[in-house]
Amino acid sequence: MLTFPIKSQIATLSRAVNGSTNTKYLISSLPLQFARGKRTKRTVTVSAGTQRIITQLSVISARKKVPRVLKLSNEDLIRHDTVQRAWTLFQREKRQQQDEQLSKQYDSIINALEDLKAVAPELYAVANKKEKGKRFPLEARIPVDYPPNKIWYYDVAKDESK
Amino acid sequence: MYQPLKRCLATVASPSAEGSAVNAIKAALLLTRQPIVTPDLTELEKAYFNYQEELERRLMWTFPHYYYFKKGSLSERRFIKAQKGPVSNQPNILFEKGEPDVVHNRERRLKQEVRIPKEEYEESSMSDISRPVVPNSRITDADRANDITSLERALPRTLHLLVNENNKGWKLPSFALAQGTTLHRAAESGLRELGGDDIHTWTVARSPAAVLKYEHGKLVAPDANSDKLEREFIIKSHILAGAFKPQNLEYAWLTKEEVEERVSKDYFEATEFLFSRV
């Protein structure tokens, strides 16, 4: 007990109990800490690189991260199925409307071209001429969620596309 | 498939009637402004997307914050402070909403709410790169003023150019064909004569999208055939920049529903499929 390491700043109660016969120790002014709360150093230390790999692996592993399995009651299941069916129905209607409009547009083009061929063959020839090198315009923009600061460009430098 | 039809129409056009037929041809222009913002969601879409998101969040793995924040760093401390920790399970206590099941500081029965720590912004740092992002409104001044001649209205919708010449009723702008010109050129140059050169358009195709047939100024069926027919071939085009600024002409940029309100009933029936629903 006399060979107790003086270097240690923290004396634990367990040690204090063991060395209860040593009155010299008990009256020492060192701070007292219980064994349960004592911070102990990790005995196995890994290098920083290994620790990084462990962290990265734990990110992609499901251990301790998966939530509980979703258990739906019968009513909830029926509700879920109804929602899904309503959604498929909605999508189907949308698709059918689009298809219908597209086929109408297609028929209309065919009809217009047939008519043009009968009435003005020279215009029909030009209308059917292949446009080589035609590109989609660079100025066209795709819709975004929120409008830009300048919504529309009014200044046209020179328009060559006629 | 179209062979018989072609032949029967080919016999209709006689060389003698050709001269008068070209005079009776007009080129109409369907000029559209494509949507600038994504379409508005319907109530069903909103509800469905919300439901799907909640389901996905409920089934999501616990957020591994130890991967994103360095241990002992200030940002880690700030992040942990912003989180609202779960209630841990205690023995001999009745929990009204079920017994807590906490693993890794996450309630496994519920979705995990990850809160991003809010940072304080000063008014002076509004030009700073870290300033909060404030999106522009999808409803513009033109929408509020109900200015139908503006190109900046109804951003989620496709707009179509309609004109009302001499109060004869709203319709697509149409132009007579000069000798030796083609349909798409006549449509584009006619538009510029009417509304000025400050406009940038892109013709979708040289071929017409539809034909409208008039007999004595009245619309007839698209498959009608007679010597006295007047034809309007509709060319499709997009406006990309600039504006249509005519002198003394009533014009409007309209969505499909607004087109239906303004044009005559038979005109809308004949052209309904050309206007975009989006």
Q: Residue ranges per domain, chain B?
A: 25-37+140-274, 40-137
For residue B255, pLDDT over 80 is answered with yes
Give residue B201's pLDDT band: very low, low, confident or very high (50, 70, 90).
very high
Can you spell out the DSSP letters for B185-254? HHHHHHHHHHH-S-EEEEES-SS-SEEEEEETTEEE-TT---TTEEEEEEEEEEEEEE----SS-EEEEE
% of residues, chain B, pLDDT over 70: 88
Q: Which pLDDT belongs to residue A162?
A: 47
Asked if B241 and A156 come within 8 Å (Cβ–Cβ), the reply is yes
Judged by a CB distance cut-off of 8 A, whether residue B35 touches chain A is yes
B-chain residue closest to A153, CA distance: B241
CA distance B191 to B246: 9
Check if the beta carbon of residue B176 is closer than 8 Å to that of residue B193.
no
Mean pLDDT, range B102-112, rounded to an integer: 92
The sign of the torsion formed by the CA atoms of B217, B272, B146, A137 equals negative
Element (H, E) at A144: none
Q: What ipTM goes with this model? A: 0.81
Can you read off the two tokens belonging to residue B64? 């591994």
pTM (whole model) above 0.95: no
Q: Cβ of B207 under 8 Å from any chain A Cβ?
A: yes
- Compute the average pLDDT of residues B100-127: 82
3-class SS of residue A113: helix
Q: What is residue B146's predicted lDDT score, i.e. its pLDDT?
A: 95
Average pLDDT, chain B: 87
* Whether the Cβ atoms of residue A108 and residue B210 lie closer than 8 Å to each other: yes
The pLDDT of residue B218 is 87
Distances B216 to B16, B26, B27, B220, B229 between C-alpha atoms, Å: 21, 15, 18, 10, 8
Q: B59 contacts in A (CB within 8 Å)? A: 67, 70
Rounded to whole angstroms, the Cα distance separating A27 from A48 reads 42
Q: For residue B245, name the pLDDT band (cuts at 50, 70, 90).
A: very high
Q: Do A146 and B211 touch (CB under 8 A)?
A: no
Q: Note which residues in 110-139 of chain A have CB less than 8 A from chain B.
A: 110-121, 123, 126-129, 131, 137, 139
* Residue-wise pLDDT tens digits, B1-48: 344 444 444 334 333 334 444 458 999 999 999 999 999 999 999 999
- How does residue B221 score in pLDDT terms, banded at 50, 70 and 90? confident
A112–B233 C-beta distance less than 8 A: yes
Q: CATH number of the domain at B25-37+140-274, out of 3.40.50.300, 3.90.1170.50, 3.30.565.10, 3.90.79.10?
A: 3.90.79.10
Domain extent listing, chain A: 1-36, 74-127
Q: Identify which of B140, B155, B136, B137 has the alpha carbon closest to the alpha carbon of residue B255.
A: B155
Q: Which residues of chain A have pLDDT under 70?
A: 1-34, 37-43, 158-162
B114 to chain A, closest Cα gap in Å: 14
Tokens of B154: 């109804």
What's the confidence (pLDDT) of residue B36? 96
pLDDT at res. B2? 42
B231 burial type by CB count under 10 A (0-12 exposed, 13-18 middle, 19+ buried): buried
CB B209 to CB A127 under 8 A? no
- Distance, in Å, from the CA atom of B130 to the CA atom of B120, rounded to the nearest integer, reads 10
Beta-carbon neighbour count of residue B220 at 10 Å?
Answer: 17
Region of poorest pLDDT, from A36-45, B183-192, B215-224, B247-256 = A36-45
Reply yes or no on whether the pLDDT at B183 is more than 60. yes
Residue B118, pLDDT score: 81
Looking at residue B9, what is its pLDDT? 40
More confident residue, A1 or B82: B82
B178 confidence band (pLDDT: 50, 70, 90): confident
Report the pLDDT value the prediction gives residue B45, as an integer from 0 to 100. 97
- Look at residue B186 and tell me whether its pLDDT is greater than 70: yes
Amino acid (1-letter code) at residue A59? V
Cβ neighbors of B201 (< 8 A, separation 6 or more) are A159, A161, B31, B188, B191, B237, B238, B239, B240
Structure tokens at B216: 């004595």
Residue B234 has pLDDT above 50, yes or no: yes
pLDDT at site B97: 87
Instruction: Give the burial class of B143: count Cβ atoms within 10 A of its Cβ; 0-12 exposed, 13-18 middle, 19 or more buried.
Output: middle
